[in-house]
Every structure is written in C-alpha cells, then in structure tokens.
C-alpha cells in the first residue's frame, strides 16, 4: 500500500503545481488570485514534506520507470526550494497588493504571475527529481522560458531589456549544456544502455567504469559553462544583475533564492559521475574551484562599486554561488559546508530581497544613497535588511558564518592555500563594501517628511522567520539536519 | 556517392557561414539561415541514408519546416512590422567579421582533428564547431535583435550537426534538441509583441547607465 503511495508521490509533486494553474481563472480579484498562489505553493510544500519524510524513513524513491528519483541530495534541494517558494508566495500577496494600491498591478497581471510562478515551480521540481539527465535539462530549459516572462511583468523598457538579455544568454547557456549532454551521451556508447535506461543517472553511476572518461571530461566543461550561465557563475553572469534588479521583488527573491541553485544542482549531479569514471576525485572539483574563485572575486569587485541595492544583492548572489561551487569543488568537509550554505544563502537572500522590495515601494528608489534611516522609518523591513546584509557578509552568530568557516576549513585541510587566500580576500572585500552601505542606510538621517511605518503582524512574521532561523542555525545544528546534510554530502563524495 | 553528397552539403554549410558574416542586409541573413536549415535536413538524410527510419524522417521534416520556412517567414514579417533599420548594425565590421570567420574555421579544423570523436568524418565535427562558434559570434557582435536570433539559429544548426555526427544512433536525445527551437519561437514573439528592436537603442543613455556595472 505505502509502496504504491510512494510511486505516485513523485509524479504528483511534479504535476500538481501546473495542474493548479487553470484554477487561478476562477478568481475575480487580484487578492484572491495571489492567495490562491500561496495556497498552491503550500499544497506543494505539504506534499514535498511527505516525500522528504519518506526518503528519510525508507531511503531513495524511484518512480515513473526510474525516470524520477528522490535521494538525499535532491530531497535537500527540494526542501530548500519549497521553503523559499512558500515564503515568496506569501510575501507576493503583501508586495503586489501594495502595488495594486499604486495602480501598477491588476487582476490580469496577478493571474499571469500566479500561472507563471506555479508553472516554473513545476519545472524546477522536475529538474530536481529527474533521474534522466535529458529530462533534467528539459526541466531547466522550461524554467528559463517561464521565468523570462516574470521579469517583464511590468513591461517597462529596462525590464524588457533585462528580459531579452536573460533569454539570450541563458538560451545560449542551455544550448551549450545540450551539447554537453550529447557528448556525455556519446561517452556511454561502450556501456550499451538501451532506451528506457538510457542516460539514467543511477544506471550511469553503477557502470561508471565503462564510460569514456575523455569524452566525459569534454562534456563536463560544456555543462559547467552552460548550466553555469544559468547559475550565475562568473564570467557568464552578466545577465544576472539586470534581471534581478528589474524583476519585481518576489520574483527576484525566487531567482536569487532558488533558481540559481537549481542550475547549480544540475552541475552537481555530474560531479560524482566524473569522480567514479575517472577513478578518483579531483578533476571535476578543480574546475568548480576555479569557477567558484573567479565568481567570488569578480562579484567582490562589483559589490564595492555598487550603489543600487538590488544590483548589490544580485552580485552578492554571484559571490555566494561561487562559495557553493568552491565548497563542492574542495570536497570532503567542503561538500557538507556548501550544501548547508545553500539553505543559509537562500534564506538571507530572499529576506534581503523582501526588504529591498518593500523599501523600494516606500522610498520610491533602490539607490542606496537615497535609502537612509531605514531603521526608523520602517522598523520591520529596515531591521530585516540590516540583519539580512549582516548575515550575507558572514557576520559571526549567523549560520552563513558557520558554513563559510567550514569551507575555509575544508580548504585548509586540503592544503589549498591559494584557494584559501583568494577566498578570504574576496570575503574581506565584500565585508567592507557591504558594511559601508549597511551602516549608512541604517543610521543616516531619513529623508525629510518620511513617516514611520506601522508594524503589521504578517510582515513581522515574514521578516523574523528567516532571521531567527539563521540565528538559531548559527548557534545550534539540530541532529536531524546534521544527518540530512551528511547523507546528502555523501552522494557527492563528501565527508 | 552518398559520401560525396555529405561533403557537398558540408561545404555549403561552411560557405553559408561566411555569407552570414559578410552580408550587410538583414533579409539576406534570414534567407541564408533558412537555406542552412534546409541543407541541414539534407545532411541528416544523406548521413543516415543506409538506415532511413521513421524517426529520422520525422526529425528532418520538423527541422526543415521550422528552420527552413516557419522561422524565416516569421522573422521577415517581424522585421517588416517593427519598422526598424534593415541594416545589420554590426559592432564588428564586415571585413573584421570575415577575418574572425577564418580564425574560427582554423580553430574548428584543429578541434575537429583533436576531438577524435567516434564519427564517420571529422569534417562533420569541424563544420559543427564552425557553425556553433559563428553563431555565438553573431549573437555577440550584432546589435539588432533579429540578427541575434539568426545567430542563435546558426548555433543551433551547429549543435544538430554535432548531434548527428557524434550521437547519430542515440535514442530519443536528438529529438530533445527540437526543444531548443522553442527559444527561437519565444524570441520571435518577443520581437513581435514587445517590439524589441535592438539590445540597446531603445533606451536612452541615461537609463543605460542604470543597467551597467
């Protein structure tokens, strides 16, 4: 009985959000449609929780002729995804209702937002659950197409330019990744996989010894550059600051909070494959370390020169994707740290975008020189932004500090002194660059005539939950989370 | 006999790449890319002549219909309706583009020899890389949106050529490549609905600064 239930759970998870889409037509007000979006995301969240508990209790789940698979690694990413999308859909109710008061948001846009966000949720879940590497690519391609229209929800010229840049760069990236998959497929010719088992990750892992290692290496480079474009790894990141700064805040939060991770996840799946085929880790890790360090340093330079809050947050995403790639590349403890960092970064980046969006509505600007006195004028979102920025730069009691420290330790253990030095340099530059702005925004005098905002319960909850979680995880790691992360890291050959 | 035909088509694909790099009118760029799409169909047919299956026929039909007829027609119409310049507006001049084309060709020959993929002819891999890199160059070096879409189509042709060179017998993977064409459809839609003319010129320099650095 329970066996059949598990068989059905994974396809249901993929299909449910997209099947809910037509129902959004039933709602006659923007408010109703937005709350429906939240309900849909929560429903997916509940089903996802069920699936994750199943994995915990019974181990890996396969479904749909082994084309879908949920193991600890995908379960971890799924958990972060569903948490982030739930928070974002709740926030979107607050954010867009304020927009509609300003006359910038109507029922039609609300429906479009809900349809596109539920559709892209389905696509991301498909990416995470695919055991078939071809299907995984299809999922990621679909997210690119759907999210492009979320950027230009308000079709201003700058938003359109950002959308075009995003579409063009990411479609080239997706095409490169497709070439990579073709090469990886060519490398399996000696193993003679037949149709339904062809390109299944789990089958390829079992017979990794028969794969052509040289072709696999060539394919991996294509895949890292291709998927890396979507993941915002430098130097392929140039679409990212435009898209993140032009999209509405709830969309930017999902973009930064999870979409980048979904693309990175696709790269991660190939790392153990290469390690197994090459008979010993290191080669794929080395490439990831390289891209990680380049991302951290390039982002650090741009963060210092930044005046626009949302662009600052976007570059900070490039930096954090770099940290995750670096951790995975270093291996050992680094994998555990990187996976922990996925949650930490997603939480504090969504929080920061929430605050940036609401402050933008209040001040009418996301230029940091105009956003002054935020603690006084907006006690909730001002505190959230200040706390979020401090967490982002890795200040001590927050969980980001712990995961960054563990990545440092992994570099030290491995004797990668150069990587360690460059990583610390990048962190220091970002620390100073962001702190300078954060202090000015918090304590400089507010613009004249700016009123203090009332504190609302729901807004307080949305701000306090991520911040409190980050603080708690920084001080205390619960045992189930620890074992979850350890088992997920083991799949990538970590500690 | 069939090998001769394959070589002939490959030579045409190479020449058409240079044609795209050197031509100054958008309409002729679109026509060349259409011819390339049809040539690609011939290449797939000729390459699989011994074992023509229903699957191959369907892929050829889809490729030729989309790349040879549907997209070019839509692009020409979008061009007419958007009332933009019919010129290519290159960031890199035509002579410079041709020189870069030669460099790309040399690199592709080198890659084709070096890659040593399990394929029938290494020339096919060379042409695949050449189209791929040429497409990428066109996307970067041309300002107008229509021309960037043409660049993307050329890049895609490279991937198809590669897919059939390296992975001809691979089940159900080359078909997925047709999904790349969805992007082209969305691009064309973007041009038609949102009137995107070129990447930058509709935004004044003041706003442009806000999207920089």
pLDDT digits (tens, 9 = 90+) for B134-146: 999 998 888 788 8
Residues from B contacting A (CB-CB < 8 Å) are: 115, 117-118, 132, 136, 139, 145, 148, 152, 155-156, 159, 162-163, 166-167, 170-174, 176-177, 179-180, 182-183, 186-187, 190, 194, 196, 199-200, 202-203, 207, 210-211, 213
Residues of A in contact with B177 (CB under 8 A): 178
Q: Which of A169-178, A424-433, B115-124 has the lowest mean pLDDT?
A: B115-124
| DSSP secondary structure letter of residue B152 | H
Average pLDDT in chain A: 91
- Give the C-alpha separation, A23 to A16, whole Å: 12
Instruction: Give DSSP secondary structure letters for A377-424.
Output: H-HHHHHHHHHHHHHHTT-TTSHHHHHHHHHHHHHHHHT-HHHHHHHH
Mean pLDDT score, B141-169: 82
Are the C-beta atoms of residues A338 and A324 closer than 8 Å to each other? yes
Asked whether residue A216 carries a pLDDT value surpassing 70, the answer given is: yes
Burial track A27-64 (b if 16+ CB lie within 10 A, e otherwise) = beebeebbbbbbebbeebbebbeebbebbeeeeebbbb
Give the ipTM of the model, two decimals please: 0.87
Mean pLDDT score, A85-106: 92
Asked whether residue B205 carries a pLDDT value surpassing 70, the answer given is: no
Residues 6+ apart with CB under 8 A from A381: A354, A355, A358, A359, A362, A374, A453, A459, A463
Q: Which residue would you say has higher pLDDT here, A211 or B189?
A: A211
Mean pLDDT score, A283-309: 94
Confidence of residue A214 (pLDDT cuts 50, 70, 90): confident
Q: Record the tokens describing residue A431, joined without a space.
A: 């620390």
Residues 6+ apart with CB under 8 A from B117: A186, A215, B125, B165, B166
**φ and ψ of A368, to 5 deg:** -65, -20
Q: Which pLDDT score is estimated for B166?
A: 66
Q: Which of A144, A160, A305 sits opposite B213 (nearest CB)?
A: A305
Q: Which residue would you say has higher pLDDT here, A138 or A196?
A: A138
Distance from CA of B119 to the nearest CA of A (A): 10
Mean pLDDT score, A419-437: 95
Nearest CA in chain B to A218: B115
Asked whether residue A206 carries a pLDDT value surpassing 50, the answer given is: yes
Convert the pLDDT of each residue in A368-391 to its tens digit: 888 888 988 899 999 999 999 999
**Interchain contact, A164 vs B203, CB within 8 Å:** no
Convert the pLDDT of each residue in B109-152 to its tens digit: 888 777 666 655 678 888 989 999 999 999 888 878 888 889 99
Q: Which pLDDT score is estimated for A63?
A: 87
- Give the C-alpha separation, B181 to A399, whole Å: 43
Q: Record the tokens describing residue A14, joined without a space.
A: 């993929």
Residues 6+ apart with CB under 8 A from A310: A244, A245, A252, A353, A356, A360, A366
Q: Which pLDDT score is estimated for A122?
A: 96
- Cα distances from B134 to residues A423, B17, B37, B76, B107, in angstroms, run 36, 7, 15, 21, 11
Average pLDDT in chain B: 79
Residues of B in contact with A302 (CB under 8 A): 213
Mean pLDDT score, A460-464: 94
Asked whether residue B212 carries a pLDDT value surpassing 50, the answer given is: no
How many CB pairs below 8 A link A and B?
105
Residues of A in contact with B171 (CB under 8 A): 194-195, 198
Q: Which pLDDT score is estimated for B24?
A: 83
Q: Which pLDDT score is estimated for B169?
A: 58
- Give the C-alpha separation, A495 to A273, whole Å: 17
Report strand pairing: A61-63 vs A68-70.
antiparallel
Nearest CA in chain B to A148: B186
Q: What does the H/E/C string look like for A136-179? A: HHHHHHHHHHHHHHHHCCCCCHHHHHHHHHHHHHHHHHHHHHHH
Q: Is the pTM of this model over 0.95?
A: no
- A331: Cα separation from own chain's centroid: 21
Q: Which pLDDT score is estimated for A461?
A: 95
A171 touches chain B (CB under 8 A): yes
Residues 6+ apart with CB under 8 A from A479: none
Are the C-beta atoms of residues A93 and A34 closer than 8 Å to each other? yes
Q: Which pLDDT score is estimated for B203?
A: 35
**Interchain contact, A181 vs B148, CB within 8 Å:** no
**Interchain contact, B211 vs A157, CB within 8 Å:** no
Are the C-beta atoms of residues A373 and A450 closer than 8 Å to each other? yes
Q: Which pLDDT score is estimated for A76?
A: 96
- Give the C-alpha separation, B211 to B150, whole Å: 25
- Give the C-alpha separation, A315 to A392, whole Å: 12
Nearest CA in chain A to B163: A182
Confidence of residue B201 (pLDDT cuts 50, 70, 90): very low
Candidate ranges A55-69, A119-133, A207-221; pick with highest mean pLDDT: A119-133
Mean pLDDT score, A9-35: 91
Q: Which pLDDT score is estimated for A215?
A: 86
A306 touches chain B (CB under 8 A): yes
Q: Record the tokens describing residue A105, joined without a space.
A: 């948001």
Asked whether residue B206 carries a pLDDT value surpassing 50, the answer given is: no
Percent of chain A with pLDDT over 70: 98
Asked whether residue A238 carries a pLDDT value surpassing 80, the answer given is: yes
Q: Which pLDDT score is estimated for B199?
A: 54
Asked whether residue A118 carries a pLDDT value surpassing 90, the answer given is: yes
Mean pLDDT score, B85-109: 84
């Amino acid at each position: 009985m329970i066996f059949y239930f598990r068989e059905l759970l994974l396809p249901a998870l993929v299909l449910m959000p997209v099947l809910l889409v037509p129902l959004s037509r039933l709602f006659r007000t923007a408010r109703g449609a937005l709350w429906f979006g939240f309900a849909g995301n929560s429903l997916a969240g509940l089903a996802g929780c069920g699936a994750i508990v199943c994995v915990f209790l019974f181990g890996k789940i396969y479904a749909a002729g082994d084309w879908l698979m949920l193991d600890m690694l995908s379960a971890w990413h799924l958990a972060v995804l569903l948490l982030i999308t739930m928070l974002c859909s709740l926030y979107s109710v607050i954010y867009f209702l304020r927009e509609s008061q300003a006359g910038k948001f109507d029922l039609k846009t609300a429906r479009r937002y809900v349809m596109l966000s539920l559709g892209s949720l389905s696509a991301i879940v498909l990416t995470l659950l695919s055991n078939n590497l071809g299907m995984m690519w299809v999922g990621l391609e679909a997210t690119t197409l759907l999210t492009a229209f979320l950027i230009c929800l308000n079709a201003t010229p700058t938003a359109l330019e950002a959308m075009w840049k995003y579409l063009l760069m990411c479609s080239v990236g997706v095409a490169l990744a497709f070439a990579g998959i073709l090469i990886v497929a060519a490398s399996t010719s000696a193993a003679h996989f037949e149709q339904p088992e062809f390109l299944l990750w789990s089958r390829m892992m079992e017979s990794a010894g028969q794969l052509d290692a040289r072709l696999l290496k060539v394919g991996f480079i294509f895949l890292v550059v291709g998927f890396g474009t979507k993941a915002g790894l430098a130097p392929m990141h140039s679409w990212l600051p435009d898209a993140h700064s032009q999209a509405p805040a709830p969309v930017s939060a999902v973009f930064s909070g999870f979409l980048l991770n979904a693309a990175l996840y696709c790269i991660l799946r190939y790392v153990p494959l290469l390690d197994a085929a090459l008979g010993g880790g290191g080669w794929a890790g080395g490439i990831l370390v390289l891209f990680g360090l380049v991302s951290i340093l390039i982002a650090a330079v741009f963060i210092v020169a930044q005046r626009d809050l949302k662009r600052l947050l976007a570059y900070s995403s490039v930096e954090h994707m770099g940290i995750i790639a670096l951790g995975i590349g270093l291996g050992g403890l680094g994998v555990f740290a990187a996976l922990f960092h996925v949650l930490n970064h997603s939480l504090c980046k969504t929080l920061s975008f929430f605050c940036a969006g609401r402050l933008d509505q209040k001040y009418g600007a996301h230029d940091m020189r105009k956003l002054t006195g935020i603690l006084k004028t907006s006690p909730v979102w001002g505190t959230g932004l200040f706390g979020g920025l401090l967490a982002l730069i890795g200040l001590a009691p927050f969980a980001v500090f712990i995961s960054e420290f563990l990545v440092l330790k992994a570099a030290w253990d491995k004797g990668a002194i150069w990587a360690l030095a460059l990583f610390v340099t990048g962190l220091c530059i970002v620390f100073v660059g962001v702190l300078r702005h954060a202090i000015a925004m918090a304590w400089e005098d507010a613009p004249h005539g700016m009123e203090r905002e009332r504190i609302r319960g729901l807004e307080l909850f949305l701000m306090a939950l991520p911040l409190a979680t980050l603080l708690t995880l920084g001080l205390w790691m619960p045992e189930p989370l620890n074992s979850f992360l350890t088992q997920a890291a083991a799949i990538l050959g970590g500690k | 006999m069939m090998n001769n035909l394959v070589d002939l088509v490959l030579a045409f694909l190479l020449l058409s790449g240079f044609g795209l790099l050197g031509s100054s009118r958008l309409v002729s760029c679109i026509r060349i890319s259409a011819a390339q799409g049809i040539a690609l169909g011939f290449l797939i047919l000729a390459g699989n002549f011994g074992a023509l299956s229903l699957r191959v026929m369907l892929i050829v039909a889809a490729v030729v219909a989309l790349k040879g007829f549907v997209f070019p027609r839509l692009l020409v119409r979008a061009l007419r309706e958007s009332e933009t310049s019919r010129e290519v507006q290159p960031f890199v001049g035509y002579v410079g583009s041709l020189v870069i084309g030669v460099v790309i060709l040399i690199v592709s020959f080198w890659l084709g020899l070096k890659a040593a993929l399990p394929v029938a002819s290494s020339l096919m891999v060379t042409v695949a890389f050449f189209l791929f890199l040429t497409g990428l160059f066109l996307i970067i070096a041309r300002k107008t949106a229509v021309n960037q879409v043409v660049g993307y189509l050329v890049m895609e042709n490279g991937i198809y050529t590669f897919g059939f060179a390296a992975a001809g017998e691979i089940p159900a993977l080359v078909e997925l490549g047709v999904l790349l064409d969805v992007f082209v459809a969305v691009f064309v839609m973007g041009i038609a609905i949102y009137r995107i003319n070129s990447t930058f010129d509709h935004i004044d320099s003041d706003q442009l600064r806000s999207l920089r650095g």
